[in-house]
Amino acid sequence: MYNKKKLTGFTLIEIAIVLVIISLLIGGILKGQELITNSKIKSIINDAKSISTAIYTYQDRFKAMPGDDDIAQTHLNDATAINGNGDGLLSATEQQNLFAHLRVTGLINGSGNSYPKHSFGGNIIVYSSRGNFNGLTVCFENLDGKYASLVDSSTDDGISNNGSVQDANKKNSYQIGVNYELCWQG
């Protein structure tokens, strides 16, 4: 007489099914992360366009640059609005006032004069000139090279020191893990 022991365990088919399920889950997670990144890139592009449009709308309406508007209190009918000096340039204080002026007019959302944040968490700042650009320039601070390159490639030539989207510090290329101040010529 033979003593037959029943062995228990997983068959190769069961193991294969589990591996397929795990692979599908990992693939779904990675695809989800890619969708989130693409959404953030599109958000930065839309922010640049909407801020530029808001500034030009303010200029059309009041014949002055928001932030630099020397009679902003009168234009905005708001005693808390801080007048600029009207010299056509944006000082550091006027850069923040620019967003306050745009918010009071309802051209952008929010309140106060703080810099808005972009989708990757850094400040959005508007300059009267920056880097290689003269004139209205919308910049996104602390943007990792991976994402700066994606934004630049999506809207321009992908070259960090050329075109209408560039690194403010005129670096020759984007590197992953290095933060950039990506500027958009408005």
Edge to edge, what strands does the sheet with 124-130 contain? Answer: 124-130, 133-144, 179-185, 165-167
The band of 81, judged by pLDDT with boundaries at 50, 70 and 90, is: confident
96 pLDDT exceeds 80?
Answer: yes
**pTM score, whole prediction:** 0.85
- Which of these, 128, 134, 126, lies nearest to 164 by C-alpha position? 134
pLDDT of residue 131: 87
Q: Which parts of 4-62 fold into alpha helices (H)? A: 12-62
Q: Which parts of 77-144 fold into alpha helices (H)? A: 92-104
Rounded mean pLDDT of 80-101? 93
